[in-house]
Structure 1
Amino acid sequence: MSEEIRNLEPKQLWDIFYALTQIPRPSRHEQKVQDWAVKFGENLGLETIKDEVGNVIIRKPATAGMENCKGVILQGHLDMVPQKNSDKDHDFVTDPIDTFVDGNWVTANGTTLGADNGIGVSSALAVLASKTLKHGPVEVLLTATEETGMDGAIGLKGGLLQGDILINTDTEEEGTFSIGCAGGIDVTATFKKKMTKKIPKKLSAFKLKVTGLKGGHSGVDIHLGRGNANKVFFRILKEVNNAFGVVLADIQGGSLRNAIPREAFGVVAVKTKKADAFIEKVSEMAEIIKAELVLVEPDLLIEVETAGMPESIMKKGFQKKLTRAVWAAPNDVVRMSDSMSGTVETSTNLATVKAGKENVVVSCLVRSFSETAKDALASRLESVFKLAGASVVLDGSYPGWQPNIESEILEVMKNLYSDQFGKTPELLAMHAGLECGILGSTYTNWDMISIGPTIKFPHSPDEKVNIETVQKYWDFLLNTLENIPTK
């Protein structure tokens, strides 16, 4: 069904987006899509550069009579978040995305769609391909590995870009202009596993499964109060361990640092004579948690099924420390902004809990508009995990983007939008890691703004993009490029 999106308007944009969906491009597997973007620019006869960190830059000269306009950089990221439903057979490294039209939306079959940021990338490339658009000097900057560390933005060297105005294409609500964003830092706690192969006799093993949660973007969706599969899992584990001495053998919770975890799976063991009571307790807790989350997580499913006996189980002391630390660690919105009503200032997402051969690794992503609040919350998480005996690394820190309400391009675009659509756009400081903060720290002269069509549920298999708003976004982008201020 994928090709039906090629019949949508604006056709050139959707054709390019279709091509993107056919190129596997999860973060850190971007060579093919980078090569495709380079070839795209070269086939148009445009100056095309790929830098040492994988960013692709393509330059298009001004159309006749507009050479004196300020230079515009259209910017998006080439990678996408690889999330799929547990029953979906899909390899993001090798398989294309299967898209389809669902009423007024384009979505994917059981996987993330990649509209984040594929639609923005497609619009920038469609500008390059257009033979009728009037514009000043245009550069397209397609960054690498945004979703798992903003590597491209961090590695971009000064002096490569010549423009004056950056239009980022990663905002996900049409009619909203993003003029600021939160910074972030990764907190990674590593617990050295303490296991025993001396498994008591007369134990029964089970798989404890938490599924059906919505997940979503750990910044954009963090205020929605969605369930966190890791928190749900360890809440249950703590209770059944206290009541029945349930022991943990394995845990695999969440998948990506910047996605609210939708699923968690663990292998546990309990004395056979207590197995029925254990199952009943899990069922009881499932009903309690489902009742708490019923309005936001109607499809939450907590299940117990019989499993083979593991070769080893966690030692009691180690399990207690791990369980208490994960359950105690801050998660969700920590503070709302005092200056921007209704905006999250500081949050953290307990993203993954993964048991390997030697360690259990817990990863969290802290976000904040305040550098000091960001560092304080990271320190708080560090304290929780160190108290439980883990080693903790704080890394990947990136700056936020401070709003500039005196921005020239903001004023120009506000007026253009009001004239074109008869309403004033909303201004947003986004609780997500737009690359503008990092890019603006290298290119301090840039006047920056971010726009885009309406995309719902990014970073989850429910991701979808609204067709009507893609057309509206495209029309407004063309209008903006035709009315860029002169130097």
Structure 2
Amino acid sequence: MNTEIKSLEPREVWSIFDRMTKIPRPSDHEEEIQRWAYNFGKNLGLETLKDDAGNVIIRKPASSGMENRKGVILQGHLDMVPQKNSDKEHNFETDPIEAFVDSDWVKARGTTLGADNGIGVSAALAVLASKTIQHGPVEVLLTATEETGMDGANGLAPGVLQGDILINMDSEDEGELYVGCAGGEDASALFAYSTEKVPAGFTGMKLNVTGMKGGHSGMDISLGRGNANMVFFRILNAAYAKLGVRLASIDGGSLRNAIPREAFGLLAVNEADVADFVALVEEISDTIKTELAVTEPDLKITVEQATVPSDLIDEKTQVRLTLSVVACPNGVVRMSDSMEGLVETSTNLAIVKSDAQKKTILCAALMRSSVDSAKEDLASRIKAVFTLAGAEVSFTGAYPGWKPNMDSPILKTMQEVYNKNFNKIPEIKAIHAGLECGILGGKYQNWDMISFGPTIRFPHSPDEKVNIESVKKFWDFLVVTLENIPEK
């Protein structure tokens, strides 16, 4: 197999994706990729615009003889999740992604790959560049800052798009058609703390939780993976109860939509108790590693000597923080009653991070549910836990779910097309993740919507990879779908 990504088949897709890996595009730092996408459309001589929300919209007229087909909007998001291993030197705002071919997969060295949603965007742009694909009127909608708040979808004005059918290309299992998704909301709990001096006779110790897989907090939440924040505070809870270990700082997780892979804390331990502390951590670590042996085989929990901290988080706040994290709901809360194997409601305690300058500790979670009332109930539980602990609790960034329409005409068309071309009926599914369809469909209620994509594994983590053969099938399916779009 050719090891050059741009030379993989289909070349029209991979060559664009190869270019995208060289353009930094973490969420909230998308100016360069937006400029590139805008120029891509302009250089093809197509009507191109960028709206106030940072969305890039490109229109391509119908092929000759296809003018009577319904208009299609091909949609993806330009940003990517910036996650890297702790030993990887990489600046997502300036450095290219080091993508490479590994057997049947394309991966990245120590960072997220950006196949989520770079492959979908590449396919949409390849349609625009093609001179051979037969299609009706096509619009490409490339949204901004999807991963951290769906800002582009929320900021899209009604009436800008002209098409009738939205094809979202942000799903991650080839051979499946998605017709619904969960809604979500961010929960934040903010503790204010005062500082205390380190007691005489105490030394500095660092507690590190590393080697966990992390992953997408929607797609991977059902896999039973560990949460580095929960592991850290499970240990700290026991260490404080038995040895009076104190907390100076905590840095756990970084993104709300990624299961936290690492957590690091600076502690103060009585010098007389250091050996007992190390033994206690080893004992608890062995227990946790046994519990997570299948899902987290590379979990590492280590302690090391550190400089004595300049001050400590006050003891009352440490206790309240620790107990609230231990008690906070995390992971799958309920499975769906209507669709086998689908998570209905979940939450991910993604971030626990102290700020020494502001003297605050932020606990942040992303709640997801396909049932609004269940999401509201989960929010009330999280609020109760942290309010009782004395934190200031707030909820932001709520976005709606996408209710399945099993009578969808585009669903019927794509089922028939897939069966005819691949001799298989595609699975119809809903996804426990936030697709932009829910927001976009609220603004354009006439749209018939569907989502599909190639096979991507472990998005939102440095283990992210995309299957090469699935990209070819995804592309072939997209091309033949466009050729068979119904008439107006």
For normalisation by structure 2, the TM-score amounts to 0.99
- Counterpart code for 1:438: I
Answering whether residue 79 of structure 2 is matched by residue 53 of structure 1, we say no
Separation of aligned partners in 2, 1:482 and 1:126:
15
SS at match of 1:304: strand
- Cα distance, 1:429 vs structure 2: 0.5
TM alignment of 1:307-322, pairs within 5 A: 307-322=306-321
Q: In the alignment, which residue of structure 2 is the partner of 1:13?
A: 13
Q: In the alignment, which residue of structure 1 is the partner of 2:243?
A: 244
Separation of aligned partners in 2, 1:221 and 1:251:
25
Check 1:29–1:3 CA distance in 2 against 1; reply closer, same or farther (3 A cut): farther
- Cα distance, 1:3 vs structure 2: 8.0
SS at match of 2:113: coil
Would you say how many aligned residue pairs link Structure 1 and Structure 2?
485
Cα deviation, 1:173-226, whole Å, max 9, x if unaligned, reads 000111000000000000002221x22111111100000000000000000000
Q: In the alignment, which residue of structure 2 is the partner of 1:23?
A: 23
Q: In the alignment, which residue of structure 2 is the partner of 1:423?
A: 424
Separation of aligned partners in 2, 1:3 and 1:37:
26
Separation of aligned partners in 1, 2:193 and 2:46:
54
Runs of 4+ in 1 over 6 A off after TM superposition: none
Contact between 1:230 and 1:353, CA under 8 Å: does it hold in 2?
yes
SS at match of 2:4: helix
Q: In the alignment, which residue of structure 1 is the partner of 2:224?
A: 225
Answering whether residue 306 of structure 2 is matched by residue 280 of structure 1, we say no
Separation of aligned partners in 2, 1:477 and 1:397:
31
> RMSD of the alignment, in Å?
0.8
SS at match of 2:67: coil
- Cα distance, 1:264 vs structure 2: 0.1
- Cα distance, 1:317 vs structure 2: 1.2
Q: In the alignment, which residue of structure 2 is the partner of 1:434?
A: 435
- Counterpart code for 1:409: I
Separation of aligned partners in 1, 2:253 and 2:198:
28
SS at match of 1:367: strand
Cα deviation, 1:46-75, whole Å, max 9, x if unaligned, reads 000100010000000000000000000000
SS at match of 1:351: strand
Q: In the alignment, which residue of structure 1 is the partner of 2:400?
A: 399
Separation of aligned partners in 1, 2:270 and 2:442:
58
Separation of aligned partners in 2, 1:314 and 1:28:
31
Separation of aligned partners in 1, 2:85 and 2:413:
43
- Cα distance, 1:376 vs structure 2: 1.2
Contact between 2:198 and 2:268, CA under 8 Å: does it hold in 1?
no
SS at match of 1:167: strand
Answering whether residue 472 of structure 2 is matched by residue 471 of structure 1, we say yes
Contact between 1:3 and 1:18, CA under 8 Å: does it hold in 2?
no
Contact between 2:136 and 2:482, CA under 8 Å: does it hold in 1?
yes
Cα deviation, 1:360-384, whole Å, max 9, x if unaligned, reads 0000000000111111111110111
Contact between 2:123 and 2:475, CA under 8 Å: does it hold in 1?
yes
Q: In the alignment, which residue of structure 2 is the partner of 1:366?
A: 367
Contact between 2:229 and 2:263, CA under 8 Å: does it hold in 1?
yes
Unaligned runs of 5+ residues in structure 1 are none
Contact between 2:455 and 2:471, CA under 8 Å: does it hold in 1?
yes
Contact between 2:20 and 2:118, CA under 8 Å: does it hold in 1?
yes
Separation of aligned partners in 2, 1:253 and 1:115:
25
Separation of aligned partners in 1, 2:199 and 2:159:
65
Cα deviation, 1:94-150, whole Å, max 9, x if unaligned, reads 000010000000000000000000000000000000001100000000000000000
Contact between 2:3 and 2:101, CA under 8 Å: does it hold in 1?
no
SS at match of 2:40: helix
- Cα distance, 1:451 vs structure 2: 0.5
Separation of aligned partners in 2, 1:481 and 1:299:
44
Separation of aligned partners in 2, 1:85 and 1:77:
24
SS at match of 1:286: helix
Separation of aligned partners in 2, 1:17 and 1:434:
21
Q: In the alignment, which residue of structure 1 is the partner of 2:270?
A: 271
Separation of aligned partners in 2, 1:146 and 1:68:
33
Contact between 2:84 and 2:111, CA under 8 Å: does it hold in 1?
yes
Separation of aligned partners in 2, 1:315 and 1:392:
20
- Counterpart code for 2:41: G
Q: In the alignment, which residue of structure 1 is the partner of 2:121?
A: 121
Answering whether residue 411 of structure 2 is matched by residue 413 of structure 1, we say no
Q: In the alignment, which residue of structure 1 is the partner of 2:183?
A: 183
SS at match of 2:205: strand
SS at match of 2:177: strand
- Counterpart code for 2:80: M
Separation of aligned partners in 2, 1:403 and 1:428:
9
Q: In the alignment, which residue of structure 2 is the partner of 1:460?
A: 461
TM alignment of 1:172-211, pairs within 5 A: 172-196=172-196, 198-211=197-210
SS at match of 1:65: coil
Query: Identity percentage over the alignment?
Result: 63
Separation of aligned partners in 1, 2:214 and 2:176:
23
Q: In the alignment, which residue of structure 1 is the partner of 2:96?
A: 96
Cα deviation, 1:245-286, whole Å, max 9, x if unaligned, reads 000000000010000000000001111001100000001111
TM alignment of 1:43-82, pairs within 5 A: 43-82=43-82
Contact between 2:186 and 2:395, CA under 8 Å: does it hold in 1?
yes
Contact between 1:228 and 1:261, CA under 8 Å: does it hold in 2?
yes
Cα deviation, 1:387-409, whole Å, max 9, x if unaligned, reads 00000111100000000000000
